[in-house]
Amino acid sequence: MSKKILLEKIDIPDIREYEVYRKSGGYASVEKALKTMTPDDVIEQVKTSGVRGRGGAGFPMGLKWSFIDRKSGKPRHLVVNADESEPGTFKDRYLMHHIPHLLIEGAIVSSYALEANLSYIYIRGEYMWIFKILEKAIKEAYANGWLGKNILGTGYDLDLYVHCGAGAYICGEETALIESLEGKRGNPRIKPPFPAVSGLWGEPTVVNNVESVSTVSWIINNGGEEYAKIGLGKSTGTKLMSASGHIKNPGVYEIELGMSVDEFFNSDEYCGGMMDDRPLKACIPGGCSVPVLPPRYLFKTANGEDRLITYESLADGGFVTGSSLGSGGFIVYNDTACIVRNTWNF
Ligand SMILES: Cc1cc2nc3c(=O)[nH]c(=O)nc-3n(C[C@H](O)[C@H](O)[C@H](O)COP(=O)(O)O)c2cc1C
């Protein structure tokens, strides 16, 4: 049984509701961070955890936070990337739909670490029902003193807004997302400057994925060192996998990084093997942007080692005999699928 961090409370009835979430220990990380830690302490814990961004690129989260420009004196922002536009990826939707307060709690602690007083959640246009769930949850957070002025009497102020996009794949790319948030067409910007120096309205901004931000509360409650004990090597912690296609059990699963592809693919606890026991043709292990793997390179690397679900192992072999963990969108095809047609569709 893999350790659960993000989905630990998912089976508690009505966990979407504020009262239930709070009773389950929710918002404890905000109390701990704001009352007992400095923003630098929070950044240090996230660095120690080794957690890497879950939006696709896998960039170390604490390191990204440490790049934020604090010298310019300009306002800073956290922007949560809830665009989830990568085909085959539906884990952020799952989190926000079932346990929205986990994201809001993580966004408050993350904003505090960045010393941001105005932060946003940018959500794709097709997720209108989740937009409403988040708006309600944010209202509850304001009503209970977790957002707004002088949070918990600590002098820290934070406003958090949800902004709805119009539904465009490119708006998941962080600089296009920022353009869109500013009210413009979602065209990517040339980098540098990176958003940590010049982001939203030219102000220092950190963009992080929903899953990344939702992980922060556990790290603060339990410590970065505890988090770093989970997973394998530089792939610390757990990862949400969106499993779809010709498998017996499609769905969202939280796994400890380091699990073998074989276990994830064949175990009844996860994908459960091929639907109707038809032959496997190919798998895209990390969302549509990553290379397709044929069966011989899915379970073993070109060197004959077991393929593991880590950033390193899935990338072993590069774009020829390897792929990437990407956003964790695990798409499986049986022998009836046409890879050319599928690629054309993408
Ligand atoms: C074309 C394109 C689309 C992207 N779409 C998403 C997306 O839907 N969600 C997301 O979190 N990141 C997406 N990204 C990655 C973001 O640019 C950015 O790296 C990410 O939000 C950073 O968060 P993280 O460090 O927590 O992963 C996309 C990148 C590209 C190039």
Beta bridge partners of 287: 285
pLDDT at 167: 86
For residue 277, with 0-12 CB atoms within 10 Å meaning exposed, 13-18 middle and 19 or more buried, which class applies?
exposed
- Ligand 1 pocket test, candidate residues 51, 78, 206, 207, most atoms within 8 A of CB: 207
Kind of pairing between the strands at 231-232 and 235-236: antiparallel
Q: What is the model's pLDDT at position 312? A: 97
User: What are the boundaries of each domain within the chain?
Assistant: 18-227, 235-345
| Kind plus residue range of the DSSP H or E element containing 122 | strand 118-123
Q: How many helices (H) and strands (E) does the chain have?
A: 15, 11
Number of Cβ within 10 Å of residue 66's Cβ equals: 16
Q: Which tokens belong to 286? A: 């990390």
Ranges in the chain, pLDDT < 70: 1
Q: Which residue puts its alpha carbon closest to atom 18 of ligand 1?
A: 174
- Measured in angstroms, how far is the CA atom of residue 57 from the centroid of ligand 1? 7
- 81 close to ligand 1 (CB < 6 Angstrom): yes
Specify the ligand 1 atom closest to the Cα of 169.
3
What's the CA gap between 16 and 10, in Å, rounded?
A: 9
Q: Is 133 in the pocket of ligand 1 (CB under 6 A)?
A: no
Tell me the residue length of the chain. 346
Which of 173, 191, 212, 324 most suits a substitution to test ligand 1, by most atoms within 8 Å of the C-beta?
Answer: 173
What does the pLDDT read at residue 155?
Answer: 97
- Give me the pLDDT at residue 107, please: 98
Structurally, at CATH architecture level, domain 235-345 sits in Roll (3.10)
The fold of the 18-227 domain, in CATH, is: Rossmann fold (3.40.50)
Kindly state if the Cβ of 129 falls inside 6 Å of ligand 1.
no
Q: Do domains 18-227 and 235-345 have the same CATH topology?
A: no
CA–centroid distance, 49 to ligand 1, in Å, is 21
Q: How far is the CA of 80 from the centre of ligand 1 (A)?
A: 10
Q: Are 108 and 147 in contact (CB under 8 A)?
A: yes
54 pocket-lining for ligand 1 (C-beta < 6 Å)? yes
What is the chain's mean pLDDT, rounded?
Answer: 97
- Residue 2 is predicted with a pLDDT of 83
Euclidean distance between CA atoms 192 and 154, whole angstroms: 36
Kindly give the distance from the C-alpha atom of residue 172 to the centroid of ligand 1, in angstroms, as a whole number: 5
Ligand 1 atom closest to Cα of residue 59 = 25
Provide the token pair at 99. Answer: 């346990």
The CB of 88 under 6 Å from ligand 1? The reply is: no
> Which residue's CA is the closest to the ligand 1 atom numbered 13?
172
CA nearest 212: which of 25, 329, 57? 57
Rounded distance from Cα 340 to ligand 1 centre (Å) = 25
Contact 211, 6 (CB under 8 A): yes
Rg (CA), the chain: 20
| pLDDT value for 151 | 98
Beta-carbon contacts of residue 281 (< 8 Å; ≥ 6 apart): 294, 295, 333, 334, 335, 337, 339
Each residue's pLDDT tens digit, 128-153: 999 999 999 999 999 999 999 999 99
Ligand 1 atom closest to Cα of residue 174: 17
Cβ 326 under 6 angstroms from ligand 1: no
* Per-residue confidence (pLDDT) for residue 10, from 0 to 100: 96
Alpha-carbon separation of residue 94 from 57, 90, 97 (angstroms):
20, 7, 5
Q: How far is CA 34 from CA 26, 27, 43, 103, 314, in A?
A: 15, 11, 13, 17, 38
DSSP per-residue string spanning 27-80: THHHHHHHHH--HHHHHHHHHHHT-B-TTTT--BHHHHHHTS--SS----EEEE
Q: Let me know: does 139 contact 181? Beta carbons within 8 Å.
A: no
The CA 35 to ligand 1 mean position distance, Å, reads 32
CA–centroid distance for 201 within its chain: 24
Does ligand 1 have an atom closer than 6 angstroms to the CB of 50? Answer: no
Provide the whole-model pTM.
0.97
Nearest to 196 by CA among 327, 56, 79: 79
